[in-house]
Structure 1
Amino acid sequence: MKYRLCGIVLLAASTAASAQSSVTLYGRVDGGVEYLNHIANGTGGSSSRWSAEGGDWGTSMLGFKGTEDLGGGMSALFDLETALQIMNGTTGGGRLFSRRAYVGLKNETWGQLQAGRNLFIDSDGVWEFDPFVQQAVSSASLVRGRNWQQTSNNVEYHSPVFHGFDVQGQYAFGNQASGFNNGAEGEFGRSDGIMLTYHSPLFDVRGIYDELRDSSGRLSNIFTASREYFVGANVRVQKFKIQAAYTHYAAPDSPAGVADSADHYWLGATYQATPRWAMTAAGFYIRVGEGTGDASHDPGSHALLYALGTTYNLDSRTFLYGTVAYVNNSRNGTFSVFATPRDSSSPTSPIAGESQTGVYVGMMHTF
C-alpha cells in the first residue's frame, strides 16, 4: 500500500509538472510565381525572367518553441526556428536553425532575458512599421536587405510594457580572440542595438539605434555593415493604417572615396476593405551620399520604388497575395525591386540608370 501511494503521488506530481510546460510546433509555407524585367545580364544588356519562387510574401519557416512555469511569476523559454525554401527543400543558409536558436528566462515584473541566435534588432523591429511587412518588395528592397539580417552569439533583453512603453536591447559578441569587434569568417562581427517603442490604440512610435559590423569589426558598407538610426510611426484611422519611417545609415570605415551614408524614407497605407480583403500602397525612397562605388558598394545615387499589393484571406491561416512594384533609378543607381546585395551570386539589379518592374502572386499557409 505504501509503494502504491508513493506511485500515485509521483504520477500526480509528473502530471502537474507537464500541465505547467508546453512545446509548440509552428511554421508557415509560402509559394508562388514571379516576373522580373530589366535584369543586367553581364554583357551590357538586360533580360527578363519568369520563375517559381518561395517566400516572396514572407520567409517559409519551421520552428519549435516552449515554456515552463518555474513559479513565482518566472518561466523558462526556448525557440528554435529555421528558414525553408520550399521550391528546392533546402533550409536557410545551410544552418539547422537559421533564424532563431535561443533559451531564456521571463519574469512578469522584470522582463525577458535570452541568449542565442536571433533576428538582428532592426529586422525584429522594422517590419511592424513597413506597409509591406518586409516582403520581397518592401523596406528591405532599397537597402539591399540591411534590415532583415540575423546575428549569432546574442544576449538580449525585452522589458515589460509600462504605460505603453517598452525597451529591447541586443548585444552580439564576435567570439574571436583576434579582436573584440571581430567575427568569424562569413559572419558578422560584434553588433548591438537598442529599441524604444510606444504602443496605443490610435498610433505606435518606435526608435532604433544599432551597429552591424563586418567580420573585421568595421562599419565598412552602408548596406551590410553600418550604423542605423531609425524612427517609424503607425496611425490607425477607421479602416486605414498609415505607416511612415525614416532611416539614416552611416559606414565611417568605408574605403576612401566610397559613398559612406544613405537616407531612406517611406510612406504607405493599408486599407482593410473587408475582414478578408486588404489593399496596400507605398512609396520608398533612398538617397546614397556622395562618393564612388565598386562591386560591393553603391555609388552616390537615388531611387524611388512604388509598390501596390493585396491579400485575400481564405480562412484564418491561409491567404492569397499579389504585389506589383516599379523602381526608378537615377543615372548611377542600380537598385532592384528586390532586396538583392550588390555583389550577390544571384543578382536581380538592372544596369545603371535603368528602371525595373516586378510582379509576384502566391499563397501563404501558417500552422
Structure 2
Amino acid sequence: MKKAIIGVIAAAAAGGAWAQSSTVTLYGIASSDVVSVNNVVGAGGATKSQTRIDSGALSASRLGFRGKEDLGDGLSAIFTLEAGVNLDDGQTAMGRTFGRGAFVGLDGRFGTATVGRQWNLNDDLMCGFFICGGFAAFRYTEFDWLSDLTNNTVKYWSPSVGGLKVGALYSAGESTTSSNGGRTVEGALGYDAGPFSAGATIHEGKNADASRTDRLWSLGASYKLGAVKLRGAFANSKTESLSLPTATTWDAGADWAVAPQWRLSLDHVARNQKGTKNDSYFDRLIVVYQLSKRTDINANLVRMNNSGTASERFYGNGKAGVDQRVIALGMTHTF
C-alpha cells in the first residue's frame, strides 16, 4: 500500500489560478531471499555450490518518491525518483543513487511524456507476457534489452483508445566520438481489452562509438480464463559488426490464483542461436503465499540447461555446457 506522505495545496497563499493540488508519495519494496545455487563457476573454471543471501529474487528492493501536481484542464506535472537497494548489504543498487529511475514529465489527455533515466518500452509492455523478476529472459546474453533502463531519455505513451496505445522512446547517447554513438530508439504498440492483451516492440541501440548496432523486436500476448492467465512471448535479437549469430527467445507461461492467499507461476523460457546447437532453456516455478495485502513469502525454483558451448547462468561466470539449479526462499513487503 502506497502512502501519500505529503498532501499540500501548491501556492495556496497566492490564491487564484495557481492554487492547485500537489502530492508526493513515498513507496517501496523490501525483498530478501536465502538462495541455494549449484555449479557456480569461479576462478580457473572450477564449479561449486553456494548458499547466499540475495535482495529480491522475485521483486527488486527499492525506495522511491513519486510526485504529481494538478495543473488544471486535465494536465498534471509528474516526477519519479527511485533508488534500488540491496537488503543483503545495505548498499545502493546499480551503482547510482536513483538507479531505478529519475525523470520528470507531463501527463494529460494527450498521453504521458517523460524525460530522464527510465525503463525502456520493452519493460513497460513485455513484462505482461515474458516472466519478469530476477530469473527471466532478459538474463540471457543477447536479451538484456528486454528489460533495461536508459539514460538521457525522452519517452512517450499515448492514451488508450479502444484498448490500443502506442509508445516511442529516444535516448541520446551524448557520445564524444560519434554523432549517434550510444543512441537508443524504440517503438511499441500495445492492446488491452477485457481478458486479452497483446503487444509488440522494436529496439535499435548503438554502442559509444557507433561501431556496433543491436536490434531487437518482440511480440507477446496473454489471455485470462477465470483464475488462470496464459502468457506467451517471442523476441529476436541481432547484433551487427560482431560475429554473433541471430538469437531468439520465447516464453510460454501461466499464472494461477489458486486461492485468495496462494499464487503459482510456471514458465518455460528457451533461447536458440541461429545455425548452431548452442542453445539454452530454463524452467521456473514461483509459489507465493500472501500473509497480508502487502506481505508475502515466496519460493523460486529454477533450472538452467545449456547445450553445446552455451554458457548461460544466473550466478557466477559462464562455462560451456554447464547447467545451473537455483532455489530461492524469500519474503517481500510492499509499501
Q: TM (normalized to structure 2)?
A: 0.91
Which amino acid counterpart does residue 123 of structure 1 have in structure 2? D
Query: Which is richer in strand?
Result: 2
Summarize deviations over 1:22-47 as a string: whole Å, max 9, x none: 11111111101001101223334311
How big is the shift at 1:80? 0.8
Contact 2:159–2:165 (Cα < 8 Å) also in 1: yes
Q: 1:288 to 1:95 in 2, by over 3 A?
A: same
> Pick from 236, 251, 270: which aligns with 1:266?
251
Contact 2:113–2:154 (Cα < 8 Å) also in 1: yes
Gaps spanning 5+ residues in structure 1: where?
1-8, 183-188, 221-225, 292-299, 341-346
Give the aligned partner of residue 178 of structure 2. 179
How big is the shift at 1:327? 1.6
After TM superposition, the structure 1 = structure 2 runs for residues 43-62 of structure 1, keeping only pairs within 5 Å, are: 43-62=44-63
Percent identity over the alignment is 27
Summarize deviations over 1:3-29 as a string: whole Å, max 9, x none: xxxxxx964839x936x1111111111
Gaps spanning 5+ residues in structure 2: where?
1-10
Tell me the secondary structure at the aligned position of residue 43 of structure 1: helix
**Worse overlay, 119-128 or 302-311:** 119-128
Contact 2:175–2:208 (Cα < 8 Å) also in 1: no
Tell me the secondary structure at the aligned position of residue 133 of structure 2: coil
Tell me the secondary structure at the aligned position of residue 128 of structure 2: helix
How big is the shift at 1:348? 4.6
Give the aligned partner of residue 140 of structure 1. 138
Contact 2:178–2:208 (Cα < 8 Å) also in 1: no
How big is the shift at 1:207? 0.2
Tell me the secondary structure at the aligned position of residue 129 of structure 1: coil
Summarize deviations over 1:79-127 as a string: whole Å, max 9, x none: 111111111111123212111111111122x111111110122222221
Contact 1:283–1:307 (Cα < 8 Å) also in 2: yes
Tell me the secondary structure at the aligned position of residue 123 of structure 1: helix
In 1, distance between residues paired with 2:294 and 2:209?
A: 43
How big is the shift at 1:290? 4.0
Q: Number of residues paired by the alignment? A: 324
In 2, distance between residues paired with 1:232 and 1:10?
A: 47
Pick the structure with greater CA Rg. Answer: 1
Q: 1:44 to 1:72 in 2, by over 3 A?
A: closer
After TM superposition, the structure 1 = structure 2 runs for residues 124-139 of structure 1, keeping only pairs within 5 Å, are: 124-130=124-130, 132=131, 134-139=132-137
> Pick from 185, 207, 225: which aligns with 1:237?
225
After TM superposition, the structure 1 = structure 2 runs for residues 171-210 of structure 1, keeping only pairs within 5 Å, are: 171-182=170-181, 189-210=182-203
Which amino acid counterpart does residue 162 of structure 1 have in structure 2? V
> Pick from 252, 264, 273: which aligns with 1:288?
273
Question: Is structure 2 residue 302 aligned with structure 1 residue 301?
Answer: no
In 2, distance between residues paired with 1:357 and 1:348?
A: 14
> Pick from 311, 329, 351: which aligns with 2:306?
329
Contact 1:142–1:285 (Cα < 8 Å) also in 2: no
Question: Is structure 2 residue 312 aligned with structure 1 residue 310?
Answer: no
In 2, distance between residues paired with 1:84 and 1:122?
A: 23
After TM superposition, the structure 1 = structure 2 runs for residues 111-126 of structure 1, keeping only pairs within 5 Å, are: 111-126=111-126
Tell me the secondary structure at the aligned position of residue 259 of structure 2: coil
Contact 2:79–2:104 (Cα < 8 Å) also in 1: yes
Give the aligned partner of residue 329 of structure 2. 361
In 1, distance between residues paired with 2:329 and 2:145?
A: 24
How big is the shift at 1:141? 3.0
Summarize deviations over 1:255-283 as a string: whole Å, max 9, x none: xxx22310101101111111210111110
In 1, distance between residues paired with 2:205 and 2:324?
A: 29
Question: Is structure 2 residue 209 aligned with structure 1 residue 216?
Answer: yes
Which amino acid counterpart does residue 227 of structure 1 have in structure 2? R
Tell me the secondary structure at the aligned position of residue 212 of structure 1: strand
In 2, distance between residues paired with 1:241 and 1:118?
A: 28
Which amino acid counterpart does residue 113 of structure 1 have in structure 2? A
After TM superposition, the structure 1 = structure 2 runs for residues 7-156 of structure 1, keeping only pairs within 5 Å, are: 11=13, 13=15, 17=19, 20-108=21-109, 110-130=110-130, 132=131, 134-143=132-141, 145-156=144-155
Q: TM (normalized to structure 1)?
A: 0.83
